[in-house]
Structure 1
């Protein structure tokens, strides 16, 4: 079953830590967002393989935008 990882707030992508095909454990950092000069890690809520990364460094994302898919 695939897990969509979505943005919880408007922010800028500061760093993309994972790539498609990477295996992640629950709690691993997927990307780091920046909002109001704070760095906010986005963590995997379940273990699996990253099948899609929908953001790049510098992207401005909105609440609900797709960040990654883990299956």
Structure 2
């Protein structure tokens, strides 16, 4: 299983994928909002979205798991 993590603290502004969806390297999966900036979080691997661990509006810290892939 591969994990996509937050690279900074912020709020989940938008979740761009759904469970079961095929994703490719460099595809944005979540957009975080921090200091009034939108920061896209992209996957570094191909895979299928197994679980989305956050929902829009959640606050996350750096290193928190956002999405898992299989």
Whether 1:22 and 2:16 are equivalent positions in the alignment is no
Instruction: Write the distance in 1 (CA, Å) between the matches of 2:50 and 2:62.
Output: 21
Query: Alignment partner of 1:8: what SS?
Result: coil
Whether 1:58 and 2:57 are equivalent positions in the alignment is yes
Q: Measure how far apart 1:36 and its partner are.
A: 0.4
* Structure 1 consecutive aligned stretches of length 4 or more whose deviation exceeds 3 Å: none
Q: Measure how far apart 1:11 and its partner are.
A: 0.4
RMSD, matched Cα: 0.7
* Cα deviation 1:6-53 (Å, max 9, x = unaligned): 111110000000011000011111010000011000001011100010
Gaps of 5+ in 1: none
Gaps of 5+ in 2: none
Instruction: Write the distance in 2 (CA, Å) between the matches of 1:9 and 1:29.
Output: 15
The TM-score, its normalising length taken from structure 2, stands at: 0.95
